[in-house]
Amino acid sequence: MDSKALDKIKKCLRLAKSSNANEAAAALRQAQKLMAIHGVTTDDVAMSDVGSHTAKTGAGKTPPAYVTMLGSMVASAFGAETVYQQVYDGERWTLNVEFYGLNGAAEVAGYAFEVLGRQLKRDRTAYLATLNKRLKRKTKVRRGDLYAQAWLNAVAKQVTRQHRTEAENAIVEAYKAKRWEDLETMKSRDNTKGMRSNDLGAIHQGYQDGKKVSFHQGVNGSRHAQIGEVAS
């Protein structure tokens, strides 16, 4: 619906909470009138506060497990939810992740995903460059993914899960139900199967490098992320 009309409805609903009974009643009547004119419900108004942000994962149709680990971690940090979208551009499959949530949660989670994703890719690539060039590709991929998962486990130690209220959960669930009628569970690719004792170095190095990442969610519940590296 028209954004100006929606803003007017929201303003009336805010005024409807006024301690002045006459003012509150008049504002509620005006809000109901506007909603009837534009064919929207109070649920529609509430869901309009849900924002979304789509980020590229850099992965193919079926991502390695560490990609979805990263998505879940940042979504949890800011009280957002995720939906993965498999996209075919006519030549190859790629994967996007859409974050959605209230109070700017989607935008800041998307930002954190993109920044951390770039750092992880850089560090994983640097780690792989240290491996013996004669190693099989399968071994390199396994160690690279073990490194990435350990890196994320270290960063996750800094994360405090943001919990939504029951009312906020209801709004987010209503938004999800309206946008996606039949979501399928996406399976990630676990390249770490068959881990051997020689792979333990990848886990150790990944965890040590992940500890160098500074991830601040903001203070007093604010939706803000500051991401960098700990000075050595």
Per-residue pLDDT tens for 105-155? 999 999 999 999 999 999 999 999 999 999 999 999 999 999 999 999 999
pLDDT band (50, 70, 90) for residue 40: confident
Q: Looking at the structure, do residues 202 and 96 belong to the same domain, yes or no?
A: yes
Domain that holds residue 148: 50-229
DSSP state of 189: B
Number of separate domains in the chain: 2
- State the Cα–Cα distance between residues 66 and 211, nearest whole angstrom: 16
Q: Looking at the structure, do residues 122 and 153 belong to the same domain, yes or no?
A: yes
pLDDT band (50, 70, 90) for residue 22: confident
In the predicted model, what is the mean pLDDT of residues 151-173? 93
Q: Looking at the structure, do residues 216 and 131 belong to the same domain, yes or no?
A: yes
Q: Looking at the structure, do residues 82 and 152 belong to the same domain, yes or no?
A: yes
pLDDT of residue 220: 40
Considering the entire predicted model, what is its pTM? 0.83
Q: Looking at the structure, do residues 41 and 66 belong to the same domain, yes or no?
A: no
Q: Looking at the structure, do residues 14 and 82 belong to the same domain, yes or no?
A: no
Mark out the alpha helices in the chain (DSSP H runs): 3-15, 21-38, 42-47, 65-78, 105-128, 137-156, 166-179, 200-210
Q: Looking at the structure, do residues 60 and 125 belong to the same domain, yes or no?
A: yes
Q: Looking at the structure, do residues 151 and 60 belong to the same domain, yes or no?
A: yes
Pairing of strands 81-88, 50-56: unpaired
Q: Looking at the structure, do residues 21 and 110 belong to the same domain, yes or no?
A: no
Q: Looking at the structure, do residues 8 and 68 belong to the same domain, yes or no?
A: no
Using the Cα atoms of residue 127, residue 58, residue 115 and residue 68 in order, give the sign of their dihedral: negative
- In angstroms, the Cα distances linking 34 to 14, 15, 46, 73 are 14, 14, 15, 40
